[in-house]
Structure 1
Amino acid sequence: MTASTARPVRIGVQLAPQHASYSKIRDTVAEVEALGADIAFNWDHFFPLNGDPDGLHFESWTMLAAWAEQTSTIQIGALVNCNSYRNADLQADMARTIDHISNGRFIFGTGSGWFQRDFDEYGYEFGTAGSRLDALAASMDRIESRWSKLHPAPVRDIPVLIGGGGEQKTLRIVAQHADIWPSFSNPQVLEHKLGVLGSWCDRVGRDRDEIEISTEVRRRTPEQGDELYDLGTRLFTVGISGPDYDLAPVRDWLAWRDSRNT
């Protein structure tokens, strides 16, 4: 049995921190944890990604620290942190601190960033997709090095989730550093991307089965999850957004998870 087939199905819920008061976000996190979801994610943006572009919105890392204190069982992280917004060593220290606040439930989700408004309005250099990926690769080396130096050390080896599907750079970084790779692909594209990821893993001397495959299922039904499962997906992420945070699809996917894990 391979590592991927031995893994249980997990359900993550990405609560987009937009168009809702913080009290509503806090209460929804509590509901998601009470339902038994495995992971609560937010995202690392400074403005809404849909709806009113100047609507309500809250910052990722400070929110994750609050979630770490508020919750007790669910894992937490960003889907995903933008590497360009913060010094790499600072990111490592922030992650280590939230890991301690949560008693070892933090997932370090990161990526190179893409939403130009965030960069422009907060004064970060947007650069190019290639330059941002080069910066991500360099930062991962620094982050891992900083984790080995911090006192106290992280509670556990913090799982690293790296977002993006670029075949020349991103999947190489995933092969080198990630414990989880999130995909937004349909089954046909996912199968191809997994082949590319496997090739990069072979080049860097990594077993691809060490990497947990995740897929976003916002526009899919649990019945469609079977094909993704057969391709190796074990972490299924349901995206919900303010102002209402509809939990009906979360309940449906949790029931499907439980049927799969029996």
Structure 2
Amino acid sequence: MTTYPIRIGVQLQPQHADYAQIRDAVRRAEDLGVDVVFNWDHFFPLYGEADGKHFECWTMLGALAEQTSRVEIGALVTCNSYRNPELLADMARTVDHISDGRLILGIGSGWFKRDYDEYGYDFGTAGSRLDDLGAALPRIEARLAQLNPAPTRDIPVLIGGGGERKTLRHVAQHADIWHTFVSGDELRHKVEVLHGHCAAVGRDPSEIEISASVNGDEPPQPQVAGEELRALGATLFTFSAGGPDFDIERVGPWLAWRDEVNAG
């Protein structure tokens, strides 16, 4: 049975900020001791001024790979619809090398209609986008196996979302990490569903790390909220921070809790 240490992530939302402010936030996150720095894969802000400042995801990941030396990096999450699967595999392999093996390939089916409409992608339906994701994942895996040079490691695949019929089946078949936005009884139920999909495909569910979002202006105390999520199997806890200020110092109590639990 695989066991995972407690890890703390920060999603730096690349909106409403100049790039210098994003660069500074990444530096602060690594200096604080955060384990993973995520961005997201959109073309416009998701909240605040709809036409506010915004930057592209994967170009930024290449820069973060050069800027940082310790933290893992990735998108929470890449939209499968925006790039050919073979191209995405090659991009991931390249950032993997630039970062000396610190990339997490976060991916999902996509949902933000404005991105699709303004950049000329077919929005389809939630079901068709999930089917497209299911078709893309084996292509990504196959291309990663063919590239020269090969990735520096088996790049961890993170799948975000909670759809019980399709998303969690994709997680069981392809993911190393499952990212969820739910907690409590809802998370308990979805973990049971995921275990059912794992049994159907012959996968040990302990091979899949559970990542959970921990949001709010005043994050809950880790000794309560963290332990509750941990009891349900979560070990990676991710906070979001938006520009221009990128308030990440609030994760301090969670970093201390991580160190205490891991020293355990």
Partner of 2:229: 228
Residue by residue, what CA displacement relative to the aligned partner does 1:148-194 show, whole Å, maximum 9, x if unpaired? 10000000000000111000100000000000000100211110000
Q: Find the partner of 2:143 among 132, 143, 146.
A: 146
Amino acid at match of 1:196: V
Match of 1:16 in 2: 13
Q: Are 1:100 and 2:97 matched, yes or no?
A: yes
Alignment of 1:248 onto 2:245 = no
1:238–1:249 contact (8 Å) kept in structure 2: no
How far has the Cα of 1:252 moved from its partner?
2.1
Q: CA deviation at 1:250?
A: 1.8
Please tell me whether residue 177 in structure 1 is matched to residue 174 in structure 2: yes
Residue 41 of structure 1 corresponds to 38
1:44-64, Cα deviation, whole Å (9 max, x unpaired): 000011111111110000000
Give the TM-score, by structure 2 length. 0.97
Equivalence for 1:7: 4
CA distance in 2: counterparts of 1:61 and 1:42, whole angstroms: 9
Secondary structure of the 1:172 match is: helix
- Which of 79, 93, 116 aligns to 1:82? It is 79
- Please, which runs of 5 or more residues in structure 2 have no aligned partner? none
RMSD: 0.8
- The structure 1 residue matched to 2:132, chosen from 132, 135, 150, is 135
Deviation per CA, 1:82-124: give whole Å up to 9, x if none: 0000000000000000000000000000000000000000000
Residue 223 of structure 2 is aligned to residue 218 of structure 1: no
Q: Which residue pairs with 2:106 in the alignment? A: 109
> What count of residue pairs does the alignment treat as equivalent?
259
Name the CA distance, whole Å, in 2 between partners of 1:82 and 1:20: 22
Q: CA deviation at 1:261?
A: 1.1
What stretches of structure 1 of length at least 5 have no aligned partner?
A: none
What amino acid sits opposite 1:250 in the alignment?
A: V
d(CA) in 1 for partners of 2:18, 2:38? 17
**In the alignment, which residue of structure 2 is the partner of 1:61?**
58
The two structures have a TM-score, normalised by structure 1, of 0.97
Whether the 8 Å contact between 1:11 and 1:38 is mirrored in structure 2 is yes
Q: 2:10·2:248 contact (CA, 8 Å) conserved in 1?
A: no
Identity %: 63
Q: Distance in 1 between matches of 2:53 and 2:251?
A: 23
> Per-residue deviation at 1:253?
1.5
C-alpha separation in 1, matches of 2:7 and 2:184 = 18
